[in-house]
Structure 1
Amino acid sequence: MKLFGKKNEPVIGLDIGSSSVRALQLSEQGSGYRIEHFAIEPVGAGVVVEKSVQDIEAISSAIDRAVRHSGSSAKSCAIAVSGSAVFTKTISLPANLAESDVESQVQIEANQYVPYPLDEVSLDFEVLGPSARNADLIDILLAASKSENVESRQDALDAAGLRAKVVDVEAFAIANAFELMRERDGLSKSEAVGVFDIGFDLTTLLVLRGGRVIYTRDHPFGGHQLKEEIIRRYEMSAEEAGFFERGEEGPEDFEVEVLEPFQLNVVHQISRALQFFASSNEYSPISTIYLSGGSSAQKGLASMVQQELGLTTRVADPVSGMDLSPSVAVTALKRNASNLMVAMGLALRGFD
């Protein structure tokens, strides 16, 4: 399975996460896009752990529900892999290599860099263009994922009567969605921008510049820590503890005693992630950061990050300004907008 497969037909972007499955399908409208279908379906605890599918039957059922509830009749999907089983690296090769020689040379390079036996990975590459460092070289993005990581998702799709037309990498899907926002928000393409994606059990810092991901690192932190604290402090069930995700009022002391300490922890995690980036070879000054993921749109979080870190901080919203099909549940779409970066980036792959 190609990790950078390119297809002309629109596809359903399926973001398979630890807490939910997000389904999004677009159509082209003039120079932009229209959202035709959308749905989000919850995923039970332990079904997906740190981006790895643990229960194929359960995730297949969630995918089936998401696609049916979205109203889409499409059978082709774009999915993404992520987490520790994914390896990416930009390599440089001589620009005068014949096309037929590039693939064989990539295999040689992959054997050197990929930290797994090549017979255990799905491997693909994409030519990025001339190297900024040397006009005699071309930059090539190498991507590899443990085959079991890809196959578990494909098996879940098969069981739901769907097929994967594109298998992408989550970080690249986020970058794809971000390009829509970059233009809308008036940011220069040459400016380095951070995206802090707060997942359920894994959080990722991505740094984007010139339409490319120049840095990415996962951190073992996520929204589940907030939910677990709610369950512990208020002796709630997991369902009851989801009140804040549904926009419902919580206990009287929730904001002061639980939410604010969690948000301060988010600030600490972002600061720590940026310190790791500052010590990397890819470092470039950042003045703007976007928050995405399930916990990113919490009231007051973006302003707290901006105040504490001195960075312009915005909540990611890849659906803002798009036309919507009458069948799209507007309230649910807007409530989950910051958690749709991967699904949006995947849906856009249908128009490559």
Structure 2
Amino acid sequence: MASSEFVGLDIGTSTFKGIQVKGKTLTAYYQAAAPGVSLLSENPNDLKQISDSLRKFFDDAKFRTRNVVTSVPESQVFTRVINLPQMGEAEIASSVKNEAPQYVPMPLEQAVLDYEILGPSETQSGSVDVLLVAVPKALTQKYLQLLQGAGLTPLSLETETIALSRSVVGDSSQPVMVASIGATTTDISIFSGGALRFTRSIATGGKSLERALAQTFNLEMGQAAEYIRTYGLEGKLEGKVMGAIKPVFDIIVEELKRSQAFFTSRSRRPISRLVLVGGTANLPGVLVYLAQALGVEVARGNPWETAISIPGNFPREYLEEFASSFAVAAGLALKEI
């Protein structure tokens, strides 16, 4: 299995992204508009539409393989870092099984449960941090059917946060916060000591900004999206666009502040920087706005700087423009299978 080729596939609400690497060198990439149908829909026709669109995506992309590693939406996954007394691996495995029911908000027989030992705790001396992940079995089955219906062979499913740890976090010894602002959700995670230490997801994303602007000025959603891409959080156009979307964007800012304060109070280590990924990372003025609000360095996540090299015959300017959008797919492509 170690030699299997595969594509890191990010199935977003607005766009599909695919990345293929050899070692840590980019060999293929593609992105295209998604049908705009929620992956969480229970309507068989909606899911067939996504499968058909994925099949076309791979037909157009011309990847060398239809093996895929893909991610499940962070908002639908239960992820928590728990503290356990220092003990051997066998004892940790037993403790996780015993402790899981009090942390996982669903019957364990309905979930796929996994865990990873992160190492000595950064928030509680004399204990070990363990990452606990629970995914509803119904969700994994839906993904498998969706992918197989598109003629794809899924090799692995994992969370977007774990993928981002490979592509944009790097090997910083200082705590780093990552905000993935997607179309419908914002996923916040904090990494320290080379491991995930905190994660949460909120139901506010790029579409919320578009709705706010569309309702304020009676625009079509497409028009609103174009205005936001053009003016964002800058004061141009008499500050009208910024004024309309700021109250919604500040919901994301407040969650970032709360996450920052919680981690810092527990670990006694300040967040060194914020890495922004997702389509909203390219919003004009967003880096300055967040830096002023949080008091830390803010940068767009760029897998081409952190993890993957671009060959000379690839369009670097295009890939740099969409670097933060490709971050999840890049992290999935770097998974060791």
In 2, are the aligned partners of 1:215 and 1:277 still within 8 Å (CA)? no
1:80 is paired with a residue of what secondary structure? strand
The match for 2:276 among 273, 284, 291 is: 291
Amino acid aligned to 2:87: A
**Residue 205 of structure 2 corresponds to which residue in structure 1?**
222
Measure the CA separation in 2 of the matches of 1:66 and 1:20.
Answer: 10
How far residue 267 of structure 1 moved from its aligned partner, in angstroms, is 4.8
**Residue 95 of structure 1 corresponds to which residue in structure 2?**
87
Q: Does 1:336 align with 2:322?
A: yes
CA deviation map 1:237-270 (0-9, x unaligned): 4445543688799xxx757211464257435522
Q: TM-score, normalised by structure 1?
A: 0.79
Larger deviation: 211-220 or 281-290?
281-290
Q: TM-score, normalised by structure 2?
A: 0.82
In 1, are the aligned partners of 2:10 and 2:329 still within 8 Å (CA)? yes
How far residue 131 of structure 1 moved from its aligned partner, in angstroms, is 5.7
The match for 1:162 among 123, 144, 152 is: 152
**Residue 126 of structure 1 corresponds to which residue in structure 2?**
116
Larger deviation: 311-320 or 62-71?
62-71
1:1-352 matched pairs, under 5 angstroms: 7-28=2-23, 33-48=24-39, 55-91=46-82, 92=84, 95-96=87-88, 98=90, 103=93, 105-129=95-119, 139-179=129-169, 182-183=170-171, 188-189=172-173, 191-232=174-215, 237-243=220-226, 256-259=239-242, 261-262=244-245, 265-267=248-250, 269-279=252-262, 282-283=266-267, 284-320=269-305, 322-324=309-311, 326=313, 330-349=316-335, 351=336
1:338 is paired with a residue of what secondary structure? coil
How far residue 213 of structure 1 moved from its aligned partner, in angstroms, is 1.4
In 1, are the aligned partners of 2:58 and 2:66 still within 8 Å (CA)? no
| Distance change in 2, residues 1:263/1:319 (3 Å) | farther
How far residue 74 of structure 1 moved from its aligned partner, in angstroms, is 1.1
- The number of aligned residues is 327
Measure the CA separation in 1 of the matches of 2:207 and 2:321.
Answer: 18
In 2, are the aligned partners of 1:201 and 1:223 still within 8 Å (CA)? yes
Measure the CA separation in 2 of the matches of 1:145 and 1:303.
Answer: 36
Amino acid aligned to 2:113: L
How far residue 117 of structure 1 moved from its aligned partner, in angstroms, is 1.4
Q: Which has the higher relative contact order, 1 or 2, with Cα contacts under 8 A spaced 6 or more apart?
A: 1
In 1, are the aligned partners of 2:21 and 2:333 still within 8 Å (CA)? yes
CA deviation map 1:44-79 (0-9, x unaligned): 334336xx7863212212322333333212121111
In 2, are the aligned partners of 1:41 and 1:65 still within 8 Å (CA)? no
Structure 1: segments with no counterpart, 5+ residues: 1-5
How far residue 214 of structure 1 moved from its aligned partner, in angstroms, is 0.9
Measure the CA separation in 1 of the matches of 2:131 and 2:2.
Answer: 19
Measure the CA separation in 1 of the matches of 2:109 and 2:251.
Answer: 40
1:128 is paired with a residue of what secondary structure? strand
| Distance change in 2, residues 1:240/1:96 (3 Å) | closer
Q: Which has the higher helix share?
A: 2
